[in-house]
Amino acid sequence: MILRQLGSNQTELSLNNGNSIFFSYETPVAGYDAEDGFFKTETYYSKTTSRHINQYFKHVDAGDIKIVPDNSIYFAVNSHDIEIISAPFVLTFDSYDQEACQDEVTFAFEFDVFSEADQSVSLSFIELPSALSAQFSNPQLTNADSSGTINISGFNNLPPQDLVLTLRAEGQNLTRSINLELKIREDNFQGIQLLTPVNPEQEQSRTVSLSWTAHQNATEYGVEVSKSETFSSLTHSKTVFSTSTSLVNLDFSSVYFWRVKPINSCGEGGYSEAGNFRTYTVNCKTYNVEELPVQIKDAMGSIVKTTDVNLDIYDQAIVQDLDVNLTIDHGYIGDISLYLVAPDNTRIKLAQNLGDNQNDYIDTVFDQESPNPIVFAVPPFTGRYRPQGDLSVLNGKNLKGRWKLEVQDQYDDSIVGFVNTFSITVCYRGNVVLDTDNDGVSDNFDNCPSIPNTDQSDSNGDGLGDLCDLYSNDNFSLKKSNPTCSEKNNGFISISAIAFFDYQLILNGPNGLRIEESFSNQNELKIPNLAKGNYSICVRSPSNTDFERCYTTELFDPDPLGLTTQINEVDLTVTVELSGGENYHLSLNGNDYNFKTGRHRLALRAGLNRLEVTSDFSCQGRLIREIYVAKDSSVYPNPTSEIVNISIGGQALKANILLFNLDGNLLFSKEVILNPLKRSYQIPVDHFPPGLYFIRVISGERIENLKLLKR
């Protein structure tokens, strides 16, 4: 933590986390946060303190400064407790960071001892880069030393970069590590590239963000903006420390040229090639409230009173920029707060309880592009000020409707005030136009100005809204349903339209069928009772005699009912796949199910299973499957003396049966053909001597080994 004196009654406290707090006199009023950037408190201060703040931010764009509440400033820069510990000595440098342009830089320091005991402090660098060398005026400091220098050289051997050199100051009772920042710079500048705005033909608002590529050697950048291609006169000239900046309060309907040059302490490069952009071509108009003045209602005890001044605007336009103009006479201007309410109820805070007992608002203009925040202004408020809220949220909104100035009085002090003038100045692109269809989209922006279409849908992207686009390929939707059975003429064809027109349909079908029907986009036209066959459909529009759109389609007999099954012998399930219909009725072992087209899994039981499938259409018939499932093969009777029966498990339609004695000799082998209802085979064994035998059954991928005892 470092405390620096920046000027008379101006100090800065720098914390180890990179944050800092700026004090005017003994009051924290501004600072820097490593994550959120520069900030200042929202309170209005004296002219002297305001001057201190402005001096502190002299190299910072006004738009880059965040406003924070007064009571949050310490938390904004430090998340931990600050602890101050006394030390036997302090080593303080005039500067902890330097830029190196030549081959040598010097860090000067002060050495102060706060202990009565003798102090001897040695100085050394920790891991100094090999290319650099350090020369101490006195590497061993004592109580008698009060100052010294450290010369560092060898920069010519290193490329431009930022280094942190760690200095160790080691005493009897304390060792400190001090970071010295060294920025190696060159005056070798190559050109930089402008990034945004990208397209010079694309019109910009009154606030424009400029950005460019960073330069390795640059610590700051000089930015020039002019309406002249030769930069003979400048509208903006600034030096910034980042690779971007914002221009505010630009003139509408103007072309601006801009260029950037890199700068560091060693020198500066040449300007980049000039870029250009143009601001919106707009017209501006002021709308006034005529019936003024209006007396401001005084608060009643703790009850806040609100006075509304309404401004009805019937012109139709899209707001590109809006300023609020007013004059208010009040004996205690700090009593009142001002809000602007848009027709869509968007509410913007203009000023809240500013000015104390001073007065007034005199020819006050609230302009979002103003560089002067009203919270830092001194009453009477005359001129252009940036409001506490954000007027730019109104850009893009519709002008038409009731605008309202809300004046709130929060203090019951019997002081009278008046709203003497209230107007808004609106800039808009193009001319004021009507909203013919009252859909909230002005005619000059509406892709379908005669028919309400708030969503402005344009499926084919041709610039004409779907509700107006008769010729769009997406206008018509055709649906059909095949007859349920060949003997039933119950198919249908339907058509619907998006575009807002009247239509006539002509349908021609098999056996000389011809149907003519009228419809509109308000309803779907359905032609029922159609047989299978080929159909032609043509659509015309009575109001557009040159329009005709034709389609062909075919209605088919229904597909045959389809059923496939897949047996899982492990978990005793069957997966059925249904086709040919839409709704199916299944019966499995007396249990009924209803399914849609697709795959479905059902549980089986050991032994014989019966599956029946039908659809909604009786003409598709009935499908029946019998599924026999035996979990495992078995032999019986066992023991036996004459004949053994082998029951074969699984689903395979053939099996190999092998008989072995205890010595592994094959005594019998047979391939048998199976069916779902008879899965057994009989082997005579009366001619085999008594003893233990092995029977192997191979069916599909199943291999089972069974034991047989012969009496």
Contact by Cβ (8 Å): 577, 564: yes
Tokens linked to 166: 């760690």
The DSSP result for 339-408, as a single string, is EEE-TT--EEEEEES-STT---EEEEEE-TT-SSBGGG--SSEEEEEB-SS-GGGGTTSB--EEEEEEEE
Contact by Cβ (8 Å): 422, 289: yes
* DSSP H/E element including 53: helix 47-56
pLDDT digits (tens, 9 = 90+) for 244-279: 999 988 888 899 999 999 988 788 888 999 999 999
Per-residue pLDDT, averaged over 633-660, amounts to 88
Lowest mean pLDDT segment, chosen from 111-125, 226-240, 452-466, 642-656: 111-125
Per-residue pLDDT, averaged over 151-158, amounts to 87
Examine the pLDDT at 169 and tell me if it is beyond 60: yes
Instruction: Return the HEC string of 483-513.
Output: CCCCCCCCEEEEEEECCCCEEEEEEEEHHHE
List Cα–Cα distances, 686 to 8, 532, 646, 663, in angstroms: 124, 69, 16, 19
Band (pLDDT 50/70/90 cuts) for residue 519 is very high
Examine the pLDDT at 85 and tell me if it is beyond 60: no
Kindly state the percentage of the chain with pLDDT values over 70. Answer: 93
Specify the higher pLDDT residue, 358 or 464.
464
pLDDT, residue 7, reads: 62
Per-residue pLDDT, averaged over 313-335, amounts to 90
pLDDT, residue 6, reads: 66
Helix (H, G, I), strand (E, B) or coil at 466: helix
pLDDT, residue 19, reads: 84
pLDDT digits (tens, 9 = 90+) for 468-512: 999 988 899 999 988 887 777 889 999 999 999 999 999 999 999
pLDDT digits (tens, 9 = 90+) for 581-606: 889 999 999 999 999 988 999 998 87
pLDDT digits (tens, 9 = 90+) for 89-100: 888 888 888 888
pLDDT digits (tens, 9 = 90+) for 285-296: 899 998 899 999
Burial degree of 27 (CB within 10 A; 0-12, 13-18, 19+): middle
Helix (H, G, I), strand (E, B) or coil at 690: coil
CB within 8 A of 455, min separation 6: which ones?
none
Examine the pLDDT at 358 and tell me if it is beyond 90: no
Contact by Cβ (8 Å): 154, 108: no
Tokens linked to 270: 């040449």
* DSSP H/E element including 176: strand 175-184
List Cα–Cα distances, 510 to 505, 515, 536, 554, in angstroms: 17, 12, 10, 10
Kindly state the percentage of the chain with pLDDT values over 90. Answer: 46
pLDDT, residue 73, reads: 62
Per-residue pLDDT, averaged over 225-249, amounts to 93
Long-range contacts of 359-362 (CB under 8 A, 24+ apart): 359/329, 359/330, 359/331, 359/332, 359/333, 360/327, 360/328, 360/329, 360/330, 360/333, 361/326, 361/327, 361/328, 361/330, 361/333, 362/327
Band (pLDDT 50/70/90 cuts) for residue 47 is low
pLDDT, residue 412, reads: 84
pLDDT, residue 70, reads: 66
pTM above 0.85, yes or no: no
First to last CA, the chain: 102
pLDDT, residue 87, reads: 66
Q: Which residues pair with 255 in a beta bridge?
A: 278
For strands 275-279 and 203-204, give the pairing. parallel
pLDDT digits (tens, 9 = 90+) for 133-147: 999 998 998 887 788
pLDDT digits (tens, 9 = 90+) for 667-693: 999 999 987 667 789 999 999 999 999
Q: Which residues pair with 610 in a beta bridge?
A: 626
Name the one residue in this structure whose structure tokens are 């705005």: 197
> Which of 99-108, 142-151, 383-392, 557-566 is predicted most confidently?
383-392
* DSSP H/E element including 73: helix 73-77
pLDDT, residue 76, reads: 46
Distance from C-alpha of 602 to C-alpha of 593, rounded to nearest angstrom: 10
Per-residue pLDDT, averaged over 159-183, amounts to 87
Phi, psi angles (nearest 5°) of residue 528? -95, -175
Q: How many Cβ atoms are within 10 Å of 475's Cβ, its own excluded?
A: 21
Averaged pLDDT score across all residues of the chain: 87
Examine the pLDDT at 43 and tell me if it is beyond 80: no
